[in-house]
Structure 1
């Protein structure tokens, strides 16, 4: 006997988990007339009553993924009253985890979706940082949450990637005396720009190590003190012209510099709101 069956999937979130479980289970049967009806974002007891009143008139069963205790209780009671089979997917797993972890569940709908959204936002920020690294495309400056500027070896790229993992879109622009500064830099709000500077002696050491890694001689102009002082003076002039905050990164770890930038972002947000 193969009667028509309607499976009601009820959730206080999107309901996708419950629907996928039902589909997987139904696939194990030759069910020629099976229908799945999904009811997402159920947040009121009245909604549950309406669904039960519809289900009681059909050959039906209910599968639910609800984390709000009061709604679970109401659904069980209403289904039992009308002799409708109701299967709770989430509660046995949550109870087991509660016992194993020794912790209480949040009982908040849609958390997995929020986690997914946060993950994809992070990926988007990382891709942005790669695309607009080292002044590759000045069009990205207007799209960025923060723009880092500074001479070579002032941690622009490491900071960009670190902040990207905090879901912040960062572009960075190298300041080189021989290369014109992109016009777009002067068309964005100065509070979105962070100038990075450093101690010339420290920078000299870093650049010499960089030359060694590349198999070049230490006498190259790139690592000379005169060149470094010239670049720092040039960069300082640009930063003053822009009126942007300046961070000395010479004695700071990436995390420490990033923390200062995050605080600047926070202050800017407060001012705007």
Structure 2
């Protein structure tokens, strides 16, 4: 018996997902499976997917399919965080790090998953509480300066031991997944998602010490906004969720294995080389 009785859909808000959805519906019809999705997403497309609320989507889906790019995959991972449900990413546009296949490969991939012919790549998340709200990120949580409000002056305390004070445009706490996102643009290292590590990276640091920290997943890290800092935006996977003022702080903790991403043969290094256009020094040729 196949493993997929119910396919859950998570759609990009703008990209055309008609071909992908039609493929999923045809596959599900042949298998006697059900396709479900969120009302505001499947409702804008004339299709036979069943509209359900978020809780039902999470509870009923045997497989979640994110149709879009990395942003859609991050949202899908946050929806299902902490559950064993596998997540398949389908590219609708430019190549991403998290999506595994293109639309033309979708039917065969669904059959492979149904036959248990796939592997799982666990993805770690990070969490914190800010302004009384618990938030989860699979890329990063960043304290970011607001233009005109001064620099982000932030002290970094891993495992209860004060280590460094940064004055920067932003201080980013990233997962290994997020090492190729904001952290990378700020000069942080590329880290395989198989490594359960927490990165702390300052963007455009105004100090002689501008190195990234790499912390183990079992150590919390506290970011404290110093008196000399401006008001800071708190970004979770790129979205502003709150603001912090001098004297306030957040403590970020790791959540290993929070999401299960489907893999069918591609490697992280292949995806990273393509996405980042990694070549090398001409001197090495």
TM-score by length of 1: 0.26
Q: Which has the higher strand share?
A: 2
Q: Which has the higher helix share?
A: 1
Which has the greater radius of gyration? 1
TM-score by length of 2: 0.25
Question: Per chain length, whose mean CA-contact separation is higher, i.e. which structure has more relative contact order (CA < 8 Å, sep 6+)?
Answer: 2
